Chains A and B, each alone.
Chain A
Amino acid sequence: MSGFDSSADLDDEQATALESLLLRLADDEFVLAERYTEWQVRAPSLESDLALSNNAQDELGHARLWYDVLEDLGHEEHELIYERDPDEWRHSTLTERPFDEGDWADVVLRHYLYDVAEQLRLESLAESSYAKIADRVGKVRSEEQYHREHAESWMERLADGDEGHERLQNAVDRLFPHALTLFEVAAPTSGTGDASGDEPRAVDDDLEETIVEAGFRDASLEALRAEWLSIVVPYLEDLDLETPVSEIVHYDDYDLEVPDDTLPEALGRDGTHTDAWAKLHEEFTHTYRELERSEATTIMAHPE
């Protein structure tokens, strides 16, 4: 597989595919971090508060690394975060769901489901043909490696008690369908391709094909989803948590089958989002708009 050292080496289709891959990555990390920060000074213990705040900081750092790669394609970070229309965001709906007050099991389960998927995704990007992605994956993976361990230790602790177990089961019922959207095919943004207008964009299977064919990612979404299911479903079962997934046994082998109607209505990846997204987006862009900014401020423009 030949590599791409810069965006100048990409044809239009590849550029659109790369943009789509990067937006999924960056938007997931950014929106999840936004939600995590809601737990600051509200988590059940000082240690868990620090740990989750730290995860949020990690995810913001990673979002920033990926928005920075998007600058190769003519974007700018402040424009992507503060000026982009909410329908143009491509994160999974798992990351945007609001928390019920004090529902720690919700954030623990979300954290677990997301970070298993994140590990698999980063693995599939480690040898990316786009040099700038491959160069950054090592740093990100080294910072992500505690995330899953942290989530699992809390999963097991909560599942061990009656109330915790019940709360976790409720969270599985609510969030599992949204987690599946992590592996849904994305729709291109309105600024790309030859279609125009304000109509929602159709998902584009060709885009996903190009991502794999160009070697930006070396596993298909379908393969990533199958691998994710093979990890999370048995793990949840061991904790006596029920999922909508059923095992279909063929002799000594088995398949995990997800009923077709499990997916939520809004998939995130295609630009449709749950109601909670509009409010969250409004919140984190509020100050930028109120101050009539056209660029993001830096900490120190002119250090003395």
Chain B
Amino acid sequence: MNHDTPDDPDTTPCAYTDYREGEAVEELPATGDDATGLEADVWETLYEIEDPEMPISIVDLGLIYGVDVEDGVATVDMTLTYSGCPARDMLTTEVEESVVALEDVDDVELRLVWSPEWTVEMVTDEGEDDLREFGLSV
């Protein structure tokens, strides 16, 4: 390894220490706080699922955009923080299996949606507390 490289006088610190906040979207984050019956049960189940890398519920992280149950079929609209998310299959499988395991839910349709795009603004207040406790600055 060559250690003789002279200091470059033009070197500047990394310009990207500033994480953009993103636009707030009305109606989001969705938390299901006004859901009743079976839909409330689905939300409760989703609350128990955590992000694979951080101790935060995927609902508080703002990944769930909507839940609808009709005739025993639950439809979950969900996004991911990043299109190249390596935990994608792990997360979607966990959501599907947890929801379909509910009594009275016969089937689940998980729809991955990409609009509006996820930003840090989608994290709930509780989620921000969880992330701060984990050591992230949000």
Residue A74 lies at the interface, judged by CB distance under 8 Å to chain B: no
Nearest opposing residue in chain B for A143, CB measure: B83
The answer on a CB contact under 8 Å between A61 and B82 is: yes
Residues 34 to 61 of chain A near chain B (Cβ within 8 Å):
57-61
B80 to chain A, nearest CB (A): 9
Leading 10 A-B pairs by shortest Cβ distance:
A61-B84, A61-B83, A135-B115, A298-B89, A57-B84, A139-B117, A139-B114, A299-B89, A136-B114, A138-B117
The answer on a CB contact under 8 Å between B83 and A140 is: yes
The answer on a CB contact under 8 Å between B90 and A143 is: no
Report B85-119 CB contacts with A as 1/0, cut-off 8 Å. 11101100110010000000000000011111110
Do most interface residues of chain A lie in helix, strand or loop, or is the interface mixed? Answer: helix
The answer on a CB contact under 8 Å between B85 and A135 is: no
In the bound complex, how far is the Cα of B94 from the Cα of A300, in angstroms?
9
In the bound complex, how far is the Cα of B94 from the Cα of A301, in angstroms?
9
In the bound complex, how far is the Cα of B93 from the Cα of A58, in angstroms?
22
The answer on a CB contact under 8 Å between A303 and B90 is: yes
In the bound complex, how far is the Cα of B82 from the Cα of A60, in angstroms?
11
How many chain B residues touch A (Cβ–Cβ < 8 Å)? 19
The answer on a CB contact under 8 Å between B114 and A303 is: no
Report A143-170 CB contacts with B as 1/0, cut-off 8 Å. 1001000000000000000000000000
Contacts of B118 in A (CB 8 A): 139
Among A60, A61, A68, find the residue whose CB has the most chain B CB atoms closer than 10 A. A61
Residue A62 lies at the interface, judged by CB distance under 8 Å to chain B: yes
Contacts of B112 in A (CB 8 A): 68
Nearest opposing residue in chain A for B15, CB measure: A149
B4 to chain A, nearest CB (A): 15
In the bound complex, how far is the Cα of B114 from the Cα of A139, in angstroms?
7
Nearest opposing residue in chain B for A58, CB measure: B84
Residue A64 lies at the interface, judged by CB distance under 8 Å to chain B: yes
Residues 120 to 139 of chain A near chain B (Cβ within 8 Å):
134-136, 138-139
Not counting A135-B115, A143-B82, a sample of 18 additional A-B residue pairs whose C-beta atoms are within 8 angstroms of each other reads A57-B84, A62-B83, A65-B83, A134-B115, A135-B114, A138-B114, A138-B117, A139-B114, A139-B117, A142-B117, A143-B83, A299-B90, A299-B93, A300-B90, A300-B93, A300-B94, A302-B93, A303-B90
The answer on a CB contact under 8 Å between B115 and A301 is: no
In the bound complex, how far is the Cα of B114 from the Cα of A61, in angstroms?
12
In the bound complex, how far is the Cα of B84 from the Cα of A64, in angstroms?
8
Report A93-115 CB contacts with B as 1/0, cut-off 8 Å. 00000000000000000000000
Contacts of A299 in B (CB 8 A): 87, 89-90, 93
Nearest opposing residue in chain B for A56, CB measure: B84
